[in-house]
C-alpha cells in the first residue's frame, strides 16, 4: 500500500503536464471511491492516497480557482472543530439519520461558525495586532 502512495505521487510530480498521469489519477481515484465501504469507521490508506492526489492537482489549478481554494482552506479549521460534535449531536438525537444528513449538518455548522465567529474575530485580532505594532 505504501508503494502505491509513493508511485502515484512520483508519477504526478514527474509528469505534471502529461494528461495520461491525470487520467490514471482520476481512474484510480474513482476505483478507490467505488470500492470504499462508507459504512465502516476504519480509515482506508487508499483514501489518504486519493487526498494527496487531489491536493497535488490543486497545485495546477487555473488562477481563477485560487479564490475558491482559499475559501475552502479557510473553512477547514472550523470544520475540524465542529464536525465531530455536530455529527455526535445529530446521531444521538434518538433518530436514525442517513450519513449525508450528518455531513450536511457538519457543513452547515462549519459555515455558521466561520462566518459568525471565526472570520469576524480573526479580523478584529488582525486589526488589534496592527495597532499594537504601530504603537
What cell does 101 get? Answer: 444528513
- 108-130 in b/e form (b: 16+ CB < 10 A) is ebbeebbeeebeeeeeeeeeeee
Specify whether the CB–CB gap between 7 and 24 falls below 8 A. no
- 4-55 per-position pLDDT tens digit: 556 666 666 666 666 566 666 666 666 665 555 555 444 556 666 666 666 6
For the stretch 61-89, pLDDT in tens is 677 777 887 888 899 888 988 888 887 78
| Per-residue cell: 57 | 492537482
37 or 100, which is more confident: 100
Query: What is the distance between the alpha carbons of residues 103 and 34, in angstroms, rounded to a whole number?
Result: 19
Residue 75 makes CB contacts below 8 A (sequence gap 6+) with: 110, 111, 114
Amino acid at each position: 500500500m505504501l508503494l502505491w502512495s509513493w508511485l502515484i505521487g512520483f508519477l504526478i510530480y514527474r509528469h505534471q503536464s502529461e494528461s495520461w498521469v491525470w487520467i490514471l489519477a482520476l481512474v484510480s481515484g474513482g476505483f478507490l471511491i467505488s470500492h470504499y465501504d462508507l459504512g465502516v469507521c476504519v480509515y482506508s490508506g487508499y483514501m489518504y492516497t486519493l487526498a494527496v492526489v487531489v491536493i497535488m492537482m490543486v497545485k495546477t489549478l487555473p488562477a481563477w480557482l485560487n479564490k475558491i481554494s482559499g475559501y475552502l482552506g479557510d473553512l477547514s479549521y472550523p470544520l475540524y472543530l465542529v464536525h465531530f460534535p455536530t455529527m455526535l449531536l445529530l446521531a444521538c438525537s434518538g433518530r436514525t439519520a442517513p450519513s449525508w444528513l450528518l455531513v450536511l449538518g457538519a457543513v452547515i455548522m462549519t459555515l455558521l461558525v466561520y462566518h459568525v465567529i471565526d472570520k469576524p474575530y480573526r479580523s478584529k485580532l488582525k486589526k488589534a495586532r496592527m495597532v499594537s505594532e504601530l504603537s
